[in-house]
Amino acid sequence: MEMSGAGGVPKLDDPAEEPWPAATACMTRREKERWRRVLIIVCLVLLVFFLLRLESPSMVWQSARAKLTAMHGGGFMNASHAGATKADELLGGLLAPGFSRRSCLSRYQSHQYYKHFPYAPSSYLLHKLRSYEARHKKCAPGTPLYAKSVEQLRSGRSAEAMECNYLVWLPFDGLGNRMLSMVSGFLYALLTDRVLLVALPQDSSDLFCEPFPDTTWLLPPDFPVANLFGLGPQPDQSYTSLLDKKKMVNDPANATALSVPPYVYLSLGYQLVDKLFFCGEDQLVLAKVNWLLLYSDLYFVPSLYSIAEFQNELRRLFPAKESVAHLLARYLLHPTNSVWGLVTRYYHSYLDQAKQRIGIQIRMFNFASIPADDMYNQILACSRQEHILPETDGDEAAAATGNLSATNNGGDEAEDGYTAILIASLYADYYERMRSAYYEHAARGGARVGVFQPTHEERQATEKLAHNQKALAEIYLLSFSEVLLTSGMSTFGYVSSSLAGLRPTILLPAHGHRVPETPCLQAVSMEPCNLTPAREECRGKAVDKEDLARHIKVCEDFQGGVKFFD
């Protein structure tokens, strides 16, 4: 019997009695599933946004770019404006993990600012660095092995074979020279299984972070050799002096006949007293000395390649020869938080939003001094030759060439952003002139141009910590450029280019106080120049002269110097 009414079951074929309760339940399940999916998507978007907020704004582009761009060890390659991803904060394994981020912010943040990542470290270099770090930790100040070596040194007796051998870096000359000699000393320690320790005076006490994990590279103040900061170019304990006095013999076969001194002082400054240091047979003798004290203001790495005993090792460490200073400077030298604060505050205030950053480093040497007018005109002539600076509508000479530098150096169109020109110089004159030029005349094509100079100290004051901190900050600000114009023979410019991973345009020095006919040259290697190379005829194992001639050539900016080329 069919039932009808409130309590009856509706007929499925009755239009007035469609099964709404069942239909409603079915639709609710579909809607719930749809909303569940929407909710999941929203949560994922919020999570990604939250993670990105923890990083710098440019990291969004960095992550996408890094999946398409890899660092290559065999060729020169420009990275994106944003640089590397967070996964690359250790620079492809170049830096060791395990440091406190807060103790040295630059170690983990610098990758966000570099615009170029041209070379990856070789696997052999990474192996050597990790081995070195283990050795340093075992032999560093505060360890029993260090105490044993110092006690041997303090006794004044002839050196005995020790488990740990040391190279002590001593400060000499200006900041750029010091940084290059630090890099050179570290590479020498790497090649000879020594431990690098640095003797830092007050003027350098707050410049660089500790580079090696869980240890220190600082020489303790109770080191038993007196007057470390006043030894000069040729004290009695210099290697050459010891040879002259017959206290050492640079003949490996007879070296054991004489006692080996507890330490040897190496005078490798611009006077290059100890030229024999760059001979293989002398290296065999020096290998018997526990303590070597290094006094140098040179980038002497190219001369190490001329030592047959080191040549094959350097080939394995650096398949690309022009990557040596680039990789070692990024590994070894990290500004302290006080210096890094100067760098990042200035960068974010003035340079961060620029589509292109052009760094100009100007150094006037006494032996090549010219009036400021001539120097400024040389910069402009170089800019027109190499298409560096954005031209102005009022620049008739530039108009004749028809060049538009704002778009010829990898920059974007004018409407997409502005060009930032960063000037590093002891003097404000060049900044004032350039700023006035872009104030009085519009940049061609409507380009927006900003001219900036962080400091103008008027004179070099290496003896002052605050001066050195500002100088170091400017070196790093320059290294964050896409284009670099540096002064020839300037170690300040050499370091900036090496850190940047850039082959700079080099202003040629005004030898004889005359502006050179060719105002500048484009560097074909970003390696620093060894301004005082050793030119000593050595005995012993023969070096591969063909390979040497291919990779060690005359510097672009100084005919008396040599540098690495590929």
Average pLDDT score over the chain: 83
Task: Look up residue 189 and give its two tokens.
Answer: 């320690």
Residues 6+ apart with CB under 8 A from 434: 421, 423, 451
Alpha helices (runs of H) in 368-427, residue ranges in sequence order = 372-386, 396-401, 405-408
Tokens of 69: 């761009």
What is the CA 405 to chain-centroid distance, rounded?
27
485 vs 430: CA distance, rounded Å: 14
pLDDT digits (tens, 9 = 90+) for 197-211: 999 999 899 999 999
pLDDT at residue 395 in the model: 55
Measured CA to CA, the distance from residue 548 to residue 34 in angstroms comes to 70
Burial 43-79 (b: 16+ CB within 10 A, else e): eeeeeeeeeeeeebebbeebbebbeebebebeebeeb
The pLDDT, as a whole number, for residue 198 is 98
For 70-88, the DSSP string reads ---SSS-----TT---GGG
Instruction: Please give the Cα distance from 481 to 483 (Å, whole number).
Output: 5
Q: Give me the domains of the chain, ranges plus CATH numbers.
A: 123-332 (no CATH), 337-534 (3.40.50.11350)
Say what the pLDDT of residue 149 is. Answer: 95
Residue pair 273/240 in contact by the 8 Å Cβ criterion: yes
**Chain centroid to CA 264: how far?**
30
- Whether the per-residue pLDDT at 411 is higher than 90: the answer is no
Confidence grade of residue 410 (pLDDT, cut at 50, 70, 90): very low
CA distance 240 to 156: 20
Q: What does each C-alpha distance from 84 to 67, 79, 342, 520 come to in angstroms? A: 10, 8, 22, 31
What would the pLDDT profile of 437-455 be if each residue is shown by its tens digit? 999 998 888 889 999 999 8
Angle between helices 144-155 and 123-139 (to 10 degrees): 70
Host H or E run for residue 281: helix 280-286
Q: Of all helices (H) and strands (E), which one includes residue 361?
A: strand 356-361
- Grade residue 12 by pLDDT with cuts at 50, 70 and 90: very low
In percent, how much of the chain has pLDDT > 90? 65
Report the alpha-carbon angle 298-133-239, nearest 5: 40
Measured in residues, the chain has a length of: 566
Query: For 319-328, how does the pLDDT look when each residue is reduced to its tens digit (9 = 90+)?
Result: 999 999 999 9
Distance CA 328, CA 121 (A): 10
pLDDT digits (tens, 9 = 90+) for 333-374: 999 999 999 999 999 999 999 999 999 999 999 999 999 999
pTM strictly above 0.75: yes
